[in-house]
Structure 1
Amino acid sequence: RQLLWRYQMKQSLSRRGNCWDNAPTERFFRSLKTEWVPETGYSSFPAAKQAINDYIIGYYSQIRPHQNNDGLPPNVAEEKYWNAQKTVAKNT
């Protein structure tokens, strides 16, 4: 709880059987499986690890547009957010 407070994060717990807290994770894995993982799977664990790492760091975070971010990739949306915060901080 102290780490959550330190990083200004809100703990999210729901009732048993309530899947809403898990929805973003489930959506991510759906995207991974349908957009990236070959139907036949990977030839080895290292190949899977490298390909999935490429998807998360290279494609999903930097290139893939996200509807929730007004069509921006997560890294671009986050940079835009922090740049806006710096502007507000400079003006106050």
Structure 2
Amino acid sequence: MQDEHGKMDGSDVWRTRSGLHGELRTPAEAEQRGGELLSMETEERERERERERERERETRGRRRRERGARGRRSARISGGSRGGHVGAAAPRW
């Protein structure tokens, strides 16, 4: 970000590196910057959040599939003398 003199003050870098996205350190700074930077940062944050959600969905789906397969397999194998696949509905005698 450039200050009034067109000099890079590096504040936006500081802001995004630490977890304080878009938080302005002083009210004066907020005045200086105007909404333009904030809107830009919120947009960036939104994109980031979207990416996170995508990743989350992916991993969740994969986890569910794995767990499901494992559960079924163990159910089929277990049962001992009753021999394979003993579900909840199978009579146990």
- TM-score, L = length of structure 1: 0.32
Q: Which has the larger radius of gyration?
A: 2
- TM-score, L = length of structure 2: 0.32
